[in-house]
Structure 1
Amino acid sequence: MPLRLHPDVTMAVTDDGAVLLHQRTGRYWQLNNTGVLVLRGLLDGDSPEQTADALVDRHRADLADARRDVSALVDGLRAAQLLREV
Structure 2
Amino acid sequence: MPLNLADGVSIAETDDGAVLLDERSGRYWRLNGSGARVLQGLLAGRGAREAAVEAAAGARVAPEQAEQDAAALLAKLRTAGLVTP
Give per-residue Cα distances to partners, 1:8-42, cap 9 Å, x unaligned: 10111111211101101112210111111101100
Within 5 Å, give how 1:6-25 maps onto structure 2. Answer: 6-25=6-25
Give per-residue Cα distances to partners, 1:27-79, cap 9 Å, x unaligned: 22101111111011000000001112213433242122111100000000111
Q: How many residues align?
A: 85
Secondary structure of 2:81's aligned partner:
coil
Residue 71 of structure 1 corresponds to 71
State the Cα RMSD in Å: 1.3
1-structure distance, mates of 2:66, 2:46: 14
2-structure distance, mates of 1:50, 1:32: 18
Runs of 4+ off more than 3 Å: 55-58
Residue 5 of structure 1 corresponds to 5
Q: Unpaired segments of 5 or more residues in structure 1?
A: none
The answer (yes or no) to whether the contact 1:18–1:30 under 8 Å persists in 2 is yes
